[in-house]
Amino acid sequence: MLYFLGLTLMVVGGVMLFPLPIASLTGEYFLIPYFLIPSAIAFLLGFLFFKFFEEEELSYGEAMVLAAISFLLISLFGSFPFVMGAGLDPISAYFESMSGFTTTGLTMFEMPGPGTIDAPQTILFWRSLSQWVGGLGIMILFLSTVLGAGRISKRLFSAEGGGGRIGPANRRGPEVTIRAMAKSTWKIYTLFTLVAALIFWLVGMPAFESINHAMTALSTGGFSVTSDSFASYSNLILVVGLFPMIAGAISFTTHIRVTSGDLKALIKSNEVKLMLFLIVLSTVLLSWNLGWADALFSSITAQTTTGFSSVGEAGLINGPGWGPLQKSVIVLQMVIGAGFGSTGGGIKLIRTIVLGTAVYWLVKRAVLPERAVVPLTIGKETLSEETVLQIAVFGFSFILLLVAGSMITMAAMPQYSAIDCVFDSVSAQGTVGLSAGVTGYGMPVVVKLLFIIQMWVGRLEVIPVFTLLGYLFHKTPSRGKPI
């Protein structure tokens, strides 16, 4: 496992060099050592692991532990520029870094008023890059699960509307390889980002802001280089911003199908259908007290778990039309989340479909004769009771952690309303980034640490964290199939 951890650290060391040209172009030369030093340490440590430990086939449990540890270490190295270059304390810097690599978007930077965030441009670029890299990394992890040992993940994938081949065929057989899928995903992800940046710039967004917002929109991260997110932009820019958010929230296996010639893949996707339904329903509910433009933007940014805002944080706290009902609608969307195999967070749309179908199946089986055979099917895929049980356990664990996190937040910050505490707790664990004002530099350390854990657990979808705990307590983790 240390061999692969070494590879991960070497990649992190390389990624930390990308902000250096920005520092040179902007004249922020004083920031260069703050990237070079952690980059060198990460690369050297990774090289030692890579050199002195042999490559070995990982079990499912070991792969999950590797993923959990990797996010902790990546966020650690990524936090150094925030401490040295932006003046954040170590815990706040780690919060910012974890929020970036998990594509959450909650921030420790103060927002004094409209305009660009009061931080060096190189630091702002690093925040955006961390989300872009984190979004790509979580999709590669997804592909490893689906195309590796993931029998249940494959069934979920088929139920989502993904029967058949999803990319280039392996020469030795009809199944795709993880390497081929990862390559296709990287190409599409990069292309979409470049196109989004270009269109943002063409419709009037400054070049630097266009590049950053393209990265954080497609990764459904939501970090913005402006203090009020998208609130000060024109309606045209708001409309343009909807498309990369939606693209990032759709499974990239669906994107691969579309770009490979299966143009009906979007129409056939059960997740896309549910996503559009929830967006329309939420927009209607929100528009009772908001304008249609803000209602639509808020609905999409919540459902895709991106976290951009057309009203700014101040609008969510004190803005007209944002009462408990409207915030509750957004909370439900953040819990459900985006597509399976996308950059988005939440429980995931396909799991919601499975759980809803299972409830209908249980009712149907209860009213029919005992001898009746009632298969549980979604599309052309028949799901076993084991599959549904594991998804139910995942959903229960996710909700239980949300409840615990919300209660701790309410106890630690009694000056905020219950709905606002729940809102930010869900935003952290759903890797969304919207805030009702609870999250900020001045929040208690215990809540900062809590949200760091929730972002980490939410991004990894619970199971890898439980597997890591199993290792720490000297229990052999399950080598069974992933949820």
Q: Is the dihedral of CA 75, 80, 81, 87 positive or negative?
A: positive
| Radius of gyration of the chain, Cα coordinates, nearest whole angstrom | 22
Q: What's the token pair of residue 203?
A: 């419709």
Report, in this order, helix, strand and coil percent for the chain, each rounded to 5: 65, 0, 35
Separation of alpha carbons 121 and 240, rounded Å: 24
Q: Which residues contact 222 (CB under 8 A, 6 or more apart)?
A: 103, 104, 105, 131, 216, 229, 301, 306, 307, 308, 432, 433, 434
Specify the pTM.
Answer: 0.90
Q: Which residues contact 246 (CB under 8 A, 6 or more apart)?
A: 275, 300, 304
Task: Write phi, then psi, for 226 (nearest 5 degrees).
Answer: -110, 150
- pLDDT recorded at residue 390: 86
DSSP string, 14-52: HHTTTHHHHHHHHT-GGGHHHHHHHHHHHHHHHHHHHHH
Residue 68 near residue 24 (C-beta atoms within 8 A): no
Residue 200 near residue 240 (C-beta atoms within 8 A): yes
Separation of alpha carbons 342 and 349, rounded Å: 11
Residue 316 near residue 434 (C-beta atoms within 8 A): yes
Domains in the chain: boundaries? 1-162+316-476
Using alpha carbons, list the distances in angstroms from residue 360 to 356, 375, 376, 381.
Answer: 7, 12, 9, 16
- pLDDT recorded at residue 49: 93
Task: Write phi, then psi, for 347 (nearest 5 degrees).
Answer: -65, -30
Strands, E assignment, 140-280: none
- pLDDT recorded at residue 451: 98
Residue-level pLDDT, tens digit, the chain, 483 residues:
788 899 889 999 999 999 999 999 999 999 999 999 999 999 999 999 999 888 777 777 777 788 889 999 999 999 999 999 999 999 999 999 999 999 999 999 976 656 667 799 999 999 999 999 999 887 776 666 555 544 444 444 444 444 444 334 333 443 455 667 778 888 999 999 999 999 999 999 999 999 999 999 999 999 999 988 999 899 999 999 999 999 999 998 899 889 888 888 898 899 999 999 999 999 999 988 888 899 999 999 999 999 999 987 666 666 667 889 999 999 999 999 999 889 999 999 999 999 998 888 888 878 877 777 777 777 777 778 888 888 999 999 999 999 999 999 999 999 999 999 999 999 999 999 999 999 999 999 999 999 999 999 999 888 778 878 877 776 554 444 444
